[in-house]
Structure 1
């Protein structure tokens, strides 16, 4: 795919990913409650309102101004959960409110675990809209300490997720049936904030998301997903902003990310489980977004096993004193898979503590596996950067080099160290200025 064809294809993705439409029926959640006291939860009211809306043929469940303490909310087909300005859905900090366990993925491996706070499985035509707030209630006292890090509230003697995470990875490696990979009660694998799973025609629009236990928006094996004008402010551990995983046709537009991990991370399953499922993530358009904090602005990986292709990024703003990378393609010979056809253009960078473009096959486990990933056809153009550690870091393997990597017509005003490029076949750096000096490279390095 050449550059001109790539951006035509990006426009096609934008045009085909349209928001779902809903009948003009409104079901006010307060009509299915309220609880008898302010300490009781609205869980049953949300369930009843969503079911009534679904059974009527679809429409909108209105959440008017106020605060609504609840457990898990499960969406059904043809239902828009509309959170009005001044409304806050405040999720319970009691893990029991997210049981029974549901079919999900934890860090890209299939299992049964606590329900994501807003969850849908096998549904079509669903939405979360409005100018209200989704508050996960997480912090050092709740959820975050499960990661097992003192900085997030864990103290010696407290349980944490390491044992469960190791157990899940062993189960996946041994091909234990997913139905037997049951966590939830008594375990410490944190749930995601929003997860549509095997859904089609999904819209998440306008809401503000704060204090998530883990990944905020995590569509898995979905098709036609539109995330727009969402603002996310959650600096907890593994608090990725939006992680489309093994999805097709995704548009992320006009969003603000101030999060504790990657702003956007595109994924496709992990290791043996990713190979078993074998579903790529493809046709993702990211435009007009503001990435402020923390690791990758747009990350691809680390979970690349099922393959990732056709990723387009344009007109975004990356930068802040605590933001690390710009485009961050990260994987290794344990994860495998492929990444191909990645196009970035017209990005403004104010400040990154590391590289504007990082493609690194030595991430995490390094080169300790037997499944070297194939990375090819990455094109970056029109970047205007004020300050980065360096413009790019490109590291393939001698036996599996990066292929067809282009950086062109870009300026990197202030850098701290030299660029790195090794084991790259078909590197093209043209029309690039770094610290005021032209950089031109073509060929293999």
Structure 2
């Protein structure tokens, strides 16, 4: 009895010590983030594990692949991946040449590696894509498989300097968008038909189980290109991606992912370059984005679906990237209901007459969400059409977007930013009277050729520190 009491007392003491250490560690981290968020970023970078693969190679040609750009290689990819897994993992090699295929489903411990002149051409026949658990514009559903898909996998990669070609254009996937610029004409079915997008959104609002949200044939909701769903420890490195049906790189509910040296060149509808969603510990570095929509768009679910999942996207790091065409360089939203925090953007170049904004945060009272702690430094901006920083709680597209979920947006910092052609406004920010946009800092920012310094509505505590606009120092007001 005495021994048991002693063991119990010892256990209490041990747990007490651990609790004190954890609290102490948390306080230390909090102090670091409060005093210098960039030190916090460095800690996040160091904490992210990297992929590792056995030194084994499985050449798809050894499994029947034919590099003529016409023969379907879906089975050859499946066989090579299966053999790789059965032998403990390694590299599935795509040699130089053009390989037509349906969707590629990756497994744990598999590195899909493309040689420099290898090109994977993905089928444009929707019937080649099975129905899987995926997501569309921030809402989960059963829909066409992404072109490359991994679900519940660990230690998985796509590498090499070859090309992923979705072959999308205005005669196939893009026409489903309902956009006249993408081949659509009156009388052609599209995602905008009432039984399609609207039905999905309504199902999510009614909390219909995802297994019953079955779309696919006849619903015209385009597949994502590369999607890692509920994965951990992922690498995408050096590849080029072109001609995407829809969103391009889409990690969803995925932690510890590094996207390095990737080139995205795709100007179709909703062709966001990279959309981390409900994802944490994400590094996007040394990449080039030339897109038909946002270059990088950080997501966190749409409306009721996002609130039910309730996983914020956080610890998102963007470094040494180049943004060319796009609606925004680095964007947060609009599918943002679970919230976003700890976003770090540094050492990037943004420049194009077709780039609308450099940094953009977009939400509304249907989305809600808390967006906070966004830190930007060392940005070189050539030309933007509209503004350098845009923050809005009134993002409105696809009809009425008002509800009872007032967003929170706070703590945004831009430091050491130079802009040659700033568009209409240096800063455009608008919040609600009961929920103003809070704490915007522009420090050591120089903006040339901009129409106005700011357009502000319900903004609390905006601070210009050594900021020059049109050759004049901006005073706080």
* Pair 1:176 & 2:208 matched: yes
Distance change in 2, residues 1:440/1:18 (3 Å): farther
- In structure 2, the residue matched to 1:93 is 124
In the comparison of the two structures, how many residue pairs are matched? 441
- In structure 1, the residue matched to 2:138 is 108
**Contact conserved, 1:413 with 1:436, CA < 8 A, in 2?**
yes
* Pair 1:215 & 2:247 matched: yes
Considering Cα pairs closer than 8 Å and 6+ residues apart, tell me whether 1 or 2 has the greater RCO: 1
Find 1:250's aligned residue among 254, 261, 282: 282
- In structure 1, the residue matched to 2:446 is 411
- In structure 2, the residue matched to 1:360 is 392
Separation (CA, whole Å) in 2 of partners of 1:36 and 1:304: 42
Separation (CA, whole Å) in 2 of partners of 1:37 and 1:348: 43
How large is the RMSD of aligned CA atoms in angstroms? 1.4
Separation (CA, whole Å) in 2 of partners of 1:407 and 1:417: 15
Deviates more, 1:299-308 or 1:433-442: 433-442
**Contact conserved, 1:18 with 1:224, CA < 8 A, in 2?**
yes
> Could you tell me the TM-score, scaled by structure 1's length?
0.97
Separation (CA, whole Å) in 1 of partners of 2:340 and 2:183: 35
- In structure 2, the residue matched to 1:198 is 230
- In structure 2, the residue matched to 1:267 is 299
Q: Which runs of 4+ in 1 moved over 4 A?
A: 1-4, 35-38
Find 1:45's aligned residue among 76, 88, 98: 76
**Contact conserved, 1:361 with 1:367, CA < 8 A, in 2?**
no
- In structure 2, the residue matched to 1:322 is 354
User: Does the residue aligned with 1:391 lie in a helix, a strand or coil?
Assistant: strand
**Contact conserved, 1:138 with 1:213, CA < 8 A, in 2?**
yes
**Contact conserved, 1:13 with 1:251, CA < 8 A, in 2?**
no
For structure 2, the residue ranges without an aligned partner over 5 or more in a row are: 1-29
**Contact conserved, 1:215 with 1:240, CA < 8 A, in 2?**
yes
**Contact conserved, 1:229 with 1:253, CA < 8 A, in 2?**
yes
Find 2:427's aligned residue among 384, 392, 406: 392
- In structure 1, the residue matched to 2:364 is 332
* Pair 1:421 & 2:456 matched: yes
Find 2:172's aligned residue among 123, 131, 142: 142
**Contact conserved, 1:18 with 1:226, CA < 8 A, in 2?**
no
Separation (CA, whole Å) in 1 of partners of 2:349 and 2:61: 40
* Pair 1:151 & 2:185 matched: no
**Contact conserved, 2:70 with 2:99, CA < 8 A, in 1?**
no
**Contact conserved, 1:331 with 1:361, CA < 8 A, in 2?**
yes
For structure 1, the residue ranges without an aligned partner over 5 or more in a row are: none
Report deviation, 1:187: 2.1
Report deviation, 1:410: 0.6
